[in-house]
Structure 1
């Protein structure tokens, strides 16, 4: 597993959080409350794919104020240029979307060795490896499980964030340094 360290990137980039809340249509009504409970310096990956462009930007602005108030890091699902324009700390997504653009924190998704290699080429600052466990986002989908997750994470040259069916209990039980969740931090889908 990759070691904890601060991401050495220029500008206003913070240390890489250990805990990440992922936004989704099913947890949108609880995000502010969860942000208030998370340890200072946690992260929010703002996805909100369910909203039209104008509404998505407005919701981003509201949550950006909340993340600043609680001392959290906010990353935008999208390209690095868009993240910079929106004043996010970084960008989140697949390697092909993040390989270009300005120097912002890059959180790249990976599901296998090929995607992990792509993340390295895209200058990822961290990689979200998923799905570790079964997840409501992809019911019945393929999962890595803890053993394959660790084997894949061991090949990473950058810090790893576990995603997919993650909860505080699982992070502790499997001694994961960094993890992210949608339902695991917001009390499940309603």
Structure 2
């Protein structure tokens, strides 16, 4: 429990949050079939105001699980974003979507069609971060990570430079935990994101 709350409290201290035009959660928890096999249990422990990003990767029970997550997040004052699947997000009344980098070009249209949604997109490069029209980009990899898709870590200095150059609200993902999160307080981020730390 302490990891959830400490990360969320650290994220709320990020100075860039004071300049937000749209309310964005301070903490994003990304699900993963292998590393978070029970996303409902994770959602039941997240602090109020955080968001869970449900990535179903085509699971046959995706809609049933998304509906369970929607019930938990509504009851606990959390946000629910659906990974990539805008149709599912609409059907279950989610709070928005998270787009992989290859689909980030859809962000502007999704925001126009769903003005209340939070739309985030992955950005593994500065070019992708600059091109995105999402409400916020998720930059990775911040620190060394055990994710099978993780590339070289940016570290706090290069991450901060990327945030400044991107010129848009950004989250840090990859190897973020309680200890490392403190090193990102001056990076210009609006929030923190994690998978295994949560």
| Normalised TM-score (structure 2) | 0.77
Change (3 A) 1:159 1:65: same
Task: Say which structure, 1 or 2, has more relative contact order (CA 8 Å, 6+ apart).
Answer: 2
Secondary structure of 1:100's partner? helix
Change (3 A) 1:60 1:136: same
Give the deviation of 1:50 after TM superposition: 5.5
Give the deviation of 1:75 after TM superposition: 0.5
Find the partner of 2:153 among 143, 146, 151.
143
| Normalised TM-score (structure 1) | 0.80
Which shifted more, 25-34 or 61-70?
A: 25-34
Long gaps (5+) in structure 2: 1-13
Number of the residue aligned with 1:60 = 66
Change (3 A) 1:69 1:7: farther
Number of the residue aligned with 2:53 = 45
Secondary structure of 1:109's partner? strand
Find the partner of 1:89 among 86, 95, 120.
95
Matched, 1:35 2:48: no
Change (3 A) 1:137 1:168: same
Change (3 A) 1:136 1:50: farther
Q: How many residues align?
A: 174
Alignment of 1:104-183 (within 5 A): 104-119=117-132, 122=133, 124-138=134-148, 141-175=151-185, 177-183=190-196
Long gaps (5+) in structure 1: 9-14, 186-190
CA distance in 1: counterparts of 2:94 and 2:160, whole angstroms: 30
Change (3 A) 1:174 1:117: closer
1 or 2, which has the higher helix percentage?
2
Matched, 1:16 2:24: yes
Q: What RMSD over aligned residues (CA atoms) do the two structures have, in Å?
A: 2.3
CA contact (8 A) 1:45 1:77 kept: yes
Change (3 A) 1:152 1:91: same
